[in-house]
Structure 1
Amino acid sequence: MNTSPTGNTFMDESELKKINANGIDIAYREFGSGEPLLMITGYSATMDMWSTAFLSELSRNYRVIVFDNRGTGYSSYDDRYFTIPLFADDSKALLEALGVSEAHILGWSMGTNIALEMAIKYPEILKSLILYAADCGGKEALMAGPDIYEMLADTSGTDQERGMRLLGLLFPERWFEEHPDIMSYFPVVTETISPEVVAMQYKAMEIWNGADSKLHEIDNPVLIITGTEDILTPPENSVMIAEKISGSWLIRLKDSGHGAMYQYPENMASAVKLFTDSEVSHP
């Protein structure tokens, strides 16, 4: 039974702060104490989309830092063209502004592209790399089917109808039908992101050359988590990444989708702790 906080209760317990980093104001929140864990959101996501139950579990063992990527939610942006390397620079600059010299980095979906770029450009600041619903980008990445993209682009119906349609893409159909009480596991999302910023994020992913040719160079401890029923980022991507990063861990969560952190928050947090306890040297 999930006894962790849901809705926005847990998120609201942390003060919303802003700090100037890499020439923009980055909005962030912090939870818990321990080794820093920076969490990077995915495509069109704001920081209040993280599973509050997942954050709550992680905060028992880490100083969890969540933030809005440039242009999303409460973070500003400038006239620089959106790119995955620029997002990686933002993430590094945020850590530096917070006085953090080394951290665990956890990326979700597009956030895994950013996290991989950080591992390639700035390996010295990573205590470990955790990739959830990952792909390597570039032509090597396995994409979702065209029917999925049609659903993502479909703006018909009311806001509620469209929201439910998009929410359904995060979960296996049977699981979603068996868990109709959405408020018991999905947060109340109040932050916004403009269609223009969403389009710029999409373009950033589209033009990124990807990390495939550099995966074998990654020497940080790496944990890869994928849902076996993920239709947005096919799980074959995670298998491919695991095969190319020596010594990496791969966890496949049965009957879970792109929203695995909402389905099994305690399991995922336990996996992260087991991994860091086993693979990362603690001072």
Structure 2
Amino acid sequence: MPTVHVNHCDIYYEIHGQGDPLVMIMGLRRNIEWWYRQIPTLEKHFKVVVFDNRGAGRSEKPAMDYSIGLFADDTAALMEALDIDYAHVLGVSMGGYIAQELAINHPQKVKDLVLGCTGCGGEKAVLMSADRMEKFTANQNLTPEEILKKDMDIYFSNEYVAGNPAAMAQFSEISMRYYQPADAFLRQYAACRKHDTVARINRVTQPTLIMTGDDDPLVPPENSFILKELLPHAQLSVFPKGRHCFFMEFADRFNEEVVDFFR
């Protein structure tokens, strides 16, 4: 199992394909498995580096305070360990938070940047609606499978869920792999709640593509519009009917735009 000890933590990683390096950073709770709609396409164009964040998947889950800056330092240290001087960087959700911090704190390592279903946090954060948050957090006495089923409408449009039972079964099976322990989730979640790049995001000078679904209930699309205002040089791509996993539901378009932007 490929792991490397960096920044006082064992990080699990995989490398797929050849070419210019592309580092992909996953979001809260999730792991490498959630890139299953991206890796087969992107590895044809890049040397794709994927990894499990500290506290998730097959990486170490130390009992300590986590922060988005710490995750970014982990990413930079992993790149150094793999002899990657700089790379294209793609981050979704919490991975987009991490990608921002990586570009701000380790700018020499980031050639260009794709930020998916994410935001700058802080005082400008647009949060999930109160009623959706109530449903999202009503997890007591539910199994992981029941929680995922309950929240499926966060990830995909209703039409996609109803019309693609085989895809939903595959997604559910993949989401149960290397499932994150509750204590590690809480440490990652606490880091997300403190995310704030509002006053520093102008340090991101690399070419940037912001991507969002226009119906994302978890990280509302307004957060991407705010990022675009704070990064006037950035491009913005909006996916109609896209929810939080728009990069899976609309994988063909997403992957094509990522390849076109990075190339």
Bin for the TM-score computed over the shorter chain: over 0.9
Q: Which residue of structure 1 lines up, in the alignment, with residue 215 of structure 2? A: 229
Instruction: Name the CA distance, whole Å, in 1 between partners of 2:33 and 2:208.
Output: 25
1:225 match: secondary structure: strand
Distance 1:194 1:160, change over 3 A: closer
Q: Percent identity?
A: 31
Q: Alignment RMSD, CA only?
A: 1.7
Which runs of structure 2 are paired with 1:1-16 in the superposition (5 Å)?
16=1
Which runs of structure 2 are paired with 1:132-281 in the superposition (5 Å)?
132-155=116-139, 156-183=141-168, 186=171, 188-189=174-175, 190-208=177-195, 210-277=196-263
Contact 1:227 1:252 in 2 (8 A): yes
Distance 1:85 1:158, change over 3 A: closer
Number of equivalences: 260
Deviation at 1:121, TM superposition (A): 0.7
1:119 match: secondary structure: helix
Runs of 4+ in structure 1 over 3 Å off: 77-80, 156-160
Distance 1:193 1:160, change over 3 A: closer
2:50 match: secondary structure: strand
Contact 2:123 2:198 in 1 (8 A): no
Instruction: Name the CA distance, whole Å, in 1 between partners of 2:243 and 2:63.
Output: 35
Instruction: Name the CA distance, whole Å, in 2 between partners of 1:253 and 1:214.
Output: 27
Cα-to-partner distance string for 1:201-234 (whole Å, 9 max, x where unaligned) = 11112223x1112222211010111001111111
Distance 1:22 1:184, change over 3 A: same
Instruction: Name the CA distance, whole Å, in 2 between partners of 1:159 and 1:203.
Output: 20
Range with bigger deviation, 164-173 or 63-72? 164-173
- Tell me, which stretches of 5 or more residues in structure 2 are unaligned? none
Deviation at 1:65, TM superposition (A): 1.0
Deviation at 1:61, TM superposition (A): 0.4
Instruction: Letter of the 1:227 partner, please give it.
Output: G
Which runs of structure 2 are paired with 1:75-94 in the superposition (5 Å)?
75-94=59-78
1:169 match: secondary structure: helix
Instruction: Letter of the 1:129 partner, please give it.
Output: L
TM-score, length of structure 1 as denominator length: 0.87
Instruction: Letter of the 2:80 partner, please give it.
Output: E
Instruction: Name the CA distance, whole Å, in 2 between partners of 1:146 and 1:181.
Output: 32
TM-score, length of structure 2 as denominator length: 0.93
Deviation at 1:98, TM superposition (A): 0.5
Deviation at 1:130, TM superposition (A): 0.7
Instruction: Name the CA distance, whole Å, in 1 between partners of 2:144 and 2:42.
Output: 32
Instruction: Letter of the 1:40 partner, please give it.
Output: I
